[in-house]
Structures are given as structure tokens and as C-alpha cells.
């Protein structure tokens, strides 16, 4: 008989099951082990597509999931479930919360006073200094700094929080036992040693594939009261995070940059569209003050000597923050596979004015991560438009 926690992993592993379906079924039936006691007709009656209901009812591959749970203590990680009292309160409020998180580190995620700082991987020196300063001053005032452990802005925000002896969380697009990029291993160790945590909804051992990052970004923004964009080009993952934050009713902030720099065109556009301008940490705190009413924020004393920084490696040539997914053994992309899958999604969208992402996943026969990655690519190419509520249409 599988342990109760295994059923959580099994529910998310069943074909066609995404975060919304997990939430629907758990709210309807309670603990996942009860769901696996139902037949396909009973599961479908809850509003789940019949193919998905059948995949849940017929799921039997519990053994590798048991092994995964047994491995968690060996890497200092734990499973944090949606029904646990210390599940992040901000994250619980979004439309598609992860049913569980893998958390590596001692930090409790129940603190609602989280603020995200994200931006360009190939950041300017000024952008790096600004991210480090914001991370330090927010952490010194008792906020938890959240970012994605990427090169550039993310790394500086984490390090700033560590310099203040504050808490910082890294939300990963890979398993919590996989450090990406590899040169941030010392930074990850410092986050863990400083009482922070590495967080992911992905199974341990999962590599940083491109399809993981759009879904990762909804967790990053969902954990927080607001998201600060320090530097972002016109087409960047940071803008996707900003859009997700708006859909989650989070405050979006942006640091202004020179109009002559391509690194800040995206963040400057956010300011034109209504993001709050940030020149200092007080700009963030004053805007969030109404939400902070009644929530005490402890002020930490910033040490005279900052925490030693890990050595900064030489920056590689700029490339996309998200690594490519479809590659052959020689490293060449396989565009024909992506093209066929994208054509399937476009064909489904032609038959309806607007489709919810869950409907696209179901009708395409592709896994959720692949569909989300392709929708992101098609949106950046101007062929697909996303509407509030995770609805998509042809552009």
C-alpha cells in the first residue's frame, strides 16, 4: 500500500492532470488517496475530461514515486502539500497553485511578506548594483527576497539579501537537487546556510529544460506581494513573470533605464503600462503598505561587513536565459518536432475564439509543460495572444 504522500505525486504524474485539475479534485474529494479509490466515471463527474479521469483511475506506477520520497531526506528536502498549514498563503490564492512543492532548506514558506526581484541575465553593472541594493535593503527590513537563481539580476538579488543576513528563496525551473547555472552552486549553498530555501514543483533530478520556466515563473510571482523588474529586454522571461503577477493581482514594479539601452526597453514599457517606478526601496514599501497593514515587519541589522560573496565567474556571451529543449545528441535543435507540435496547437485554436490552456493540453495530446512552452514561443512570435484567465486565441 503506497504511503499517503505518494498519492500526491501520483495525481500530478497522471497524464492530462495539471495544477487546476489537482485543485479541483482535492477540493471535491479531499486527500489524493481518496481520489485513487474512485473509478473513471466518478472522477469525470467532478468536471474532469474523461481521458484524464481514466488516466487517474488506471494509474499504477507508484514504486518510483516511493523511491523519490525516500530520497528527499538525503538531499535535505521535504514535500510541502497544498493542504499543509505552512503552505505559502500568497501562493494558495492563485488560480493554478502547485499541489505540492519540493522545499530544500530550513526556511518556512508561510511568511507572506515576500517580494520578488527579477531581471536580465546579461545585466549591466548598474542593474546588478541596483538588484543587490534592493535585495539587501528589503531583507534588512524583514522581507523575504524571492528570485530565480539565474545569472545577472537574480543572483545579485539573492546575494544582497544574504549580505543583510536576511532570508531569500530561489524558485527553480529544475529539481531542487539540480543547481542551474552550475556556477551558482556556492550561492545556492549560501542560501541554504543562511536559512533560506530552494523551491520547485518539479521532481528531483529534473533538468532545466525550457518548458519548465514559464510554469516556474507563476510560482515565483505567486509567492510574493509584488515583483520588481530591474532590467528586461522587450522579449524576456521577466516580462512573462510581470504578466503573470498582474493576472495574480500582484503589484508590478520596474526600475527605469536609459531609452538608449536595449536591456531596459521591456522594463520601461512596463512603466508606460502602469507599473510602479522604483528608484529606492521606499518606493516598494510605500506602495505595499496597505497590504502590510497589521503584518509586523521586523527590521534586521545589516552587518558592518557583508557576507563574503562567491567569486563572480566570467560572463559568457549573452544568450537566452532559458536553455533550448529540443536538441539532438550533437546539440542541434530539432525544429521539425517543435513545428509539428506548434501546428497542432494552432489548429486547435482555429476552431475556437478562445481556449483555456487546460483545453489545449487535453485536445493536443501533448504534456502540459510542452504546451506551455510552445504557447510562450508562439506568443513571442506574435501568432498567439494570451487573455486573462489563461485563455488563448490566434493573434
Most confident of 257-271, 283-297, 304-318: 257-271
CATH number for 384:
1.10.10.10
Q: Tell me the CA distances in angstroms from 223 to 5, 30, 336, 352, 376, one per residue in order.
A: 23, 24, 37, 33, 22
Domain with 352, as residue range(s), is 335-394
Residue 76 inside a domain? The answer is no
Average pLDDT over residues 357-377: 76
Contact 172, 154 (CB under 8 A): no
* 128 lies in the same domain as 262: yes
Whether 63 and 130 map to the same domain: the answer is no
Report the candidate in 48, 57, 45, 43 with the shortest Cα–Cα distance to residue 10.
57
Give the pLDDT confidence of 194-247 residue by residue, as tens digits. 999 999 999 999 999 888 888 899 999 999 999 999 998 887 888 889 999 999
Final residue belonging to a domain, choices 292, 318, 343: 292
Predicted pLDDT of residue 78: 97
- The band of 388, judged by pLDDT with boundaries at 50, 70 and 90, is low
- Burial of residue 221 (CB within 10 Å: 0-12, 13-18, 19+) is buried
Residue 111 resides in a domain = yes
Choosing from 292, 324, 353, the residue where a domain stops is 292
Residues 95 and 128 in one domain: yes
Q: Are 281 and 349 members of one domain?
A: no
315 located within any domain: no
Instruction: Write the CATH number for 153.
Output: 3.40.50.450
Whether 309 is in a domain gets the answer no
Q: What is the pLDDT of residue 349?
A: 85
Whether 113 shows a pLDDT value over 50: the answer reads: yes
pTM comes to 0.75
The CA distance from 237 to 371, in Å, is 17
Mean pLDDT of 82-86: 91
Same structural domain for residues 254 and 165?
yes
Dist CA 125 CA 133 (whole Å): 12
Do 261 and 131 lie in one domain? The reply is: yes
Smallest CA-to-CA distance from 233 within 276, 255, 262 is with 262
Q: For residues 161 and 118, state if they share a domain.
A: yes
- Give the chain's mean pLDDT: 84
In a domain, 313, yes or no: no
CATH classification of the domain holding 39: 1.10.150
| Grid coordinates of 199 | 523551491
Number of separate domains in the chain: 3
Q: Please answer whether residues 116 and 242 qualify as being in contact, where contact means their C-beta atoms are separated by less than 8 angstroms.
A: no
pLDDT at position 193 is: 96
- Look-up: residue for cell 506506477? 61
Mean per-residue pLDDT, 288-316: 50
Residues 277 and 131 in one domain: yes
Asked if the model's pLDDT at residue 168 lies above 50, the reply is yes
End residue of a domain, out of 265, 292, 319: 292
With H, G, I as helix, E, B as strand and everything else as coil, classify residue 198: strand
Task: Look at 191 and 356; give whichever has higher pLDDT.
Answer: 191
Picking from 22, 12, 15, 56, the residue whose alpha carbon sits closest to that of residue 37 is 56
**Structure letter (DSSP) for residue 67:** H
Angstrom distance (rounded) from CA 384 to CA 270? 20
Amino acid at each position: 500500500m503506497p504511503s499517503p504522500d505518494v498519492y500526491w505525486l501520483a495525481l500530478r504524474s497522471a497524464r492530462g492532470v495539471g495544477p487546476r485539475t489537482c485543485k479541483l479534485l482535492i477540493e471535491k474529494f479531499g486527500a489524493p488517496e481518496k481520489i485513487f479509490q474512485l473509478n473513471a466515471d466518478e472522477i469525470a463527474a467532478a468536471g474532469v475530461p474523461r481521458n484524464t479521469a481514466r488516466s487517474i483511475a488506471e494509474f499504477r506506477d507508484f514504486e518510483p514515486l516511493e523511491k523519490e520520497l525516500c530520497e528527499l531526506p538525503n538531499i535535505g528536502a521535504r514535500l510541502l502539500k497544498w493542504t499543509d498549514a505552512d503552505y505559502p498563503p500568497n501562493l494558495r490564492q492563485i488560480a493554478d497553485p502547485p499541489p505540492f512543492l519540493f522545499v530544500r532548506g530550513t526556511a518556512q514558506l508561510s511568511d507572506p511578506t515576500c517580494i520578488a526581484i527579477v531581471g536580465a541575465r546579461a545585466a549591466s553593472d548598474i542593474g546588478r548594483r541596483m538588484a543587490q541594493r534592493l535585495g539587501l535593503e528589503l531583507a534588512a527590513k524583514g522581507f523575504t527576497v524571492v528570485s530565480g537563481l539565474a545569472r545577472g539580476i537574480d543572483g545579485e538579488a539573492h546575494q544582497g539579501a544574504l549580505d543583510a543576513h536576511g532570508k531569500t528563496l530561489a524558485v527553480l525551473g529544475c529539481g531542487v537537487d539540480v543547481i542551474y547555472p552550475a556556477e551558482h552552486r556556492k550561492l545556492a549553498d549560501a542560501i541554504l546556510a543562511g536559512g533560506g530555501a530552494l523551491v520547485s514543483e518539479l521532481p528531483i533530478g529534473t533538468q532545466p529544460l525550457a518548458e519548465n520556466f514559464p510554469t516556474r515563473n507563476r510560482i515565483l510571482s505567486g509567492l510574493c506581494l509584488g515583483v520588481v523588474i530591474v532590467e528586461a529586454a522587450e522579449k524576456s522571461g521577466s516580462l512573462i513573470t510581470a504578466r503573470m503577477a498582474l493576472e495574480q493581482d500582484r503589484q508590478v514594479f520596474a526600475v527605469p533605464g536609459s531609452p538608449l539601452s536595449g536591456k531596459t526597453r521591456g522594463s520601461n514599457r512596463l512603466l508606460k503600462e502602469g507599473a510602479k517606478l522604483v528608484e529606492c526601496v521606499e518606493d516598494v514599501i510605500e506602495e505595499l503598505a496597505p497590504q502590510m497593514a497589521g503584518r509586523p515587519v521586523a527590521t534586521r541589522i545589516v552587518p558592518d561587513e557583508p557576507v563574503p560573496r562567491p567569486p563572480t565567474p566570467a560572463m559568457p556571451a549573452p544568450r537566452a536565459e532559458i536553455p533550448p529543449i529540443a536538441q539532438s545528441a550533437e546539440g542541434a535543435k530539432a525544429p521539425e518536432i517543435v513545428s509539428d507540435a506548434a501546428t497542432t496547437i494552432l489548429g486547435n485554436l482555429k476552431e475556437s475564439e478562445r481556449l483555456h490552456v487546460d483545453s489545449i493540453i487535453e485536445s493536443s495530446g501533448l504534456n502540459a509543460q510542452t504546451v506551455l512552452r510552445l504557447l510562450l514561443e508562439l506568443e513571442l512570435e506574435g501568432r498567439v495572444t494570451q487573455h486573462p484567465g489563461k485563455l488563448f486565441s490566434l493573434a
